[in-house]
Amino acid sequence: MELVEKLLKGDTRSVARAITIIEDGGEETHAILKGIYPHTGRAAVIGVTGPFGTGKSSLINKLASALRREDKKVGIVAVDPTSSFSGGAILGDRIRMRDHFLDTGIFIRSMATRGQMGGLARATGDVVDVMDAAGFDTVIVETVGVGQDEVEIVNLVHTTLVVLVPGLGDDIQTFKAGLMEIADIFVINKIDMGNWELVKTQLEMMLALAEETRAWRPQIVETAANDGIGIDKLMEQIGKHQDYFLHSNEHDEKDKKKSLHRMRDILSDRIWSALQGHLSGQETLDSLVRRIVKKEIDPYTAVDYLTGKILQLENLEKRTE
């Protein structure tokens, strides 16, 4: 496939085209992903997450600049869950990252879910794979919050930065378990706001009290990304974590989880499409939904009907014996 060949040589336009095809769920999706798959697994993948208002985008901007100075090609995937509401990607991040607009060693892409169900994590994984295969040395994935989707996205990345700001201190307690599990590096950003020592103390207490279930001990780095403060220190910690990660069994575990989730997502999509194509006449998916809404049947009974339509494994096997 010509597109894949060009993409593998790092052609930026082919990267963009491939991503668009994948996002739209175009016919060639399967062929593209199949073609690039053997060439993936080389990029360092960094996740940047945290509540909104913590300055993740400007932090990423500075990280990207630092990586560019090391002559690394950088891909950025802005996963913007809010776009799932509007159906379109928000341009904000791209505008804020305008420093890099004219740099061909950097590639920025915003993701939108376009109403797919559970599709965001998978689509993000596919886009990371495309950038990876196209020879980007580092791929940075930006997500908002700590919802279920983000958990799945965390499984796609090697190093997760959790970005906090002064003033979030009180809430750290509540989020303890979640933060501890995903954070490789805590970034306290906007330290120019002052009063960041409280957040740091609380994080330190939390880390001191945590059970040691991992060989990696999460680090805390203070930054004021807008002024470029703390970025070198952050780069250093990211490097250290990458060294650790690549030689740990966490790498293998994450790969397994990612593969399992992806396989299941793809399967679910495919079965649903097949059902939509197959059902016709009196009982369509729409008519089932209408009957559920009217409380004529419950959703579990509706699924009994649907599995009766597809899941006749037993019968099928008996018949072929």
Q: Contacts with a copy of itself in 203-242 (CB under 8 A)?
A: none
Closer to a copy of itself by CB, 69 or 294: give it. Answer: 294
Residues 153-172 that bind a copy of itself (CB under 8 A): 167-168, 170-171
DSSP letter for each residue of 39-81:
G-S-SEEEEEE--TTS-HHHHHHHHHHHHHHTT--EEEEEE-T
Can residue 316 be called a binding residue for a copy of itself (CB under 8 A)? Answer: yes
Give yes or no for a contact between 285 and 279, defined as CB atoms under 8 angstroms apart: yes
Buried b (16+ CB within 10 A) or exposed e, 284-298: eeeebeebeeeeeee
Q: Which of 252, 280, 282, 308 binds a copy of itself (CB under 8 A)?
A: 252
How near is the Cβ of 152 to a copy of itself at its closest, in Å? Answer: 8
Residue 273 and residue 173: Cα distance in Å, rounded? 43
**Which of 9, 37, 42, 236 lies at the binding interface for a copy of itself (CB under 8 A)?**
37
* Residue among 6 and 176 whose Cβ is closer to a copy of itself: 176
Return left, alpha or beta for 66; rule: phi > 0 is left, psi -120 to 50 is alpha, else beta: alpha
Residue among 185, 145, 189, 193 nearest 164 (CA): 189
Q: Binding to a copy of itself by residue 8, rule CB under 8 A?
A: no
Shortest distance, position 240 Cβ to a copy of itself, whole Å: 23
Q: Is there a contact between 141 and 79 (Cβ–Cβ < 8 Å)?
A: yes
Whether 57 contacts 163, CB under 8 Å? no
Least distance in angstroms from the C-beta of 280 to a copy of itself: 12
Among 10, 268, 283, 284, binds a copy of itself (CB under 8 A): 268
Of the pair 23, 150, the CB lying nearest a copy of itself is at 150
Q: Name which of 246 and 263 has its Cβ closer to a copy of itself.
A: 263
Contact 143, 47 (CB under 8 A): yes
Restricting to residues 48-107, which ones interact with a copy of itself according to CB under 8 A? 51-53, 81-86, 88, 90, 92
